[in-house]
């Protein structure tokens, strides 16, 4: 990706922040207690994992109409691997798998959002092509990605995500950023959407390594 200097995004809540910066009945008692303790320990471990990771943006979902445009701009094709960094309720992952027949992976730190995503993926029968990793998006490897989608705060994108993607992405991999650009890269295309149907404007940036 080529160095550049571009003007920044705009917007509402997320953008302002950017500017500011069983069944137990039949189970023997001991076994049930063990299951409970294991579940509690697992829950605590997962929460601890959440606590250690940097929060790179609050949860602020991309409208579905904009999700479709992000994936189209990214030229997502059937069978390609796409990662959504901070996947929220899984809407990008789900649309990528359902409508674009891609192999989609979301990484999300918030356990409740992961659970919501997994419930919806299971309801839609997309388990084979849509996956959610509960964890820190900075601790993953994106070397297999054909497309990466990003809707995170500017400081996170430019301070933490860009160096990681520079190191890991294979040649030809694409990145689509929503509203906040990668300042060190030159976009191949910038798409402005004046109104998403709810009176909000959006800017999408396409980059290629
Ligand atoms: C602005 S929301 C975008 C959600 C989704 N990508 C979308 O466009 O609808 C950012 C998401 O990143 C998640 N997030 C923030 N820091 C994270 C981290 N270090 N690792 C994984 N997810 C993170 C938040 O919990 C939130 O769901």
pLDDT in tens, 99-118: 999 999 999 999 999 999 99
CATH code of the domain covering residue 127: 3.40.50.150
Overall number of domains in the chain: 1
Q: Which of 189, 206, 181 is nearest to 11 (CA)?
A: 181
Domain annotation covers residue 16: no
Does 126 map to a domain?
yes
Q: What whole-number distance in Å separates Cα of residue 16 and Cα of residue 13?
A: 5
Convert the pLDDT of each residue in 129-179 to its tens digit: 999 999 999 999 999 999 999 999 999 999 999 999 999 999 999 999 999
Establish how many alpha carbons lie within 13 A of residue 85's alpha carbon, considering only the half-sphere containing its beta carbon.
Answer: 28
Report if residue 119 sits inside a domain: yes
CA 13 to centroid of ligand 1, rounded, Å: 14
Write the pLDDT tens digit of every residue in 83-101: 999 999 999 999 999 999 9
Pocket-forming residues, ligand 1, beta carbon under 6 Å:
14, 53-57, 59-62, 84, 86-88, 91-92, 107-110, 113, 136-138, 151-152
pTM of the model: 0.83
| Domain boundaries, position 115 | 57-208
- Structural domain contains residue 108: yes
């Amino acid at each position: 990706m080529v160095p550049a200097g571009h003007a920044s995004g705009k917007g509402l809540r997320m953008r302002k922040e950017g500017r500011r910066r069983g069944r137990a009945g039949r189970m023997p008692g001991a076994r049930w207690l063990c299951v409970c303790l294991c579940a509690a320990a697992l829950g605590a471990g997962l929460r601890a994992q959440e606590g250690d990771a940097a929060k790179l943006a609050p949860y602020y979902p991309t409208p579905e109409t904009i999700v479709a445009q992000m994936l189209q701009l990214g030229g997502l094709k059937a069978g390609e691997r796409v990662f959504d960094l901070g996947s929220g309720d899984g809407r990008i992952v789900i649309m990528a798998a359902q409508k674009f027949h891609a192999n989609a992976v979301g990484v999300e730190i918030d356990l409740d959002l992961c659970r919501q995503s997994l419930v919806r993926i299971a309801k839609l029968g997309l388990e084979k092509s849509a996956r959610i990793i509960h964890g820190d998006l900075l601790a993953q490897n994106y070397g297999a990605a054909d497309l990466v989608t990003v809707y995170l705060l500017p400081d996170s994108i430019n301070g933490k995500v860009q160096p990681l993607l520079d190191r890991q992405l294979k040649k030809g991999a694409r990145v689509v950023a929503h509203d906040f650009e990668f300042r060190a890269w030159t976009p191949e295309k910038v798409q402005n959407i004046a109104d998403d149907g709810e009176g909000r404007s959006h800017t999408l940036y396409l980059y290629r390594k």
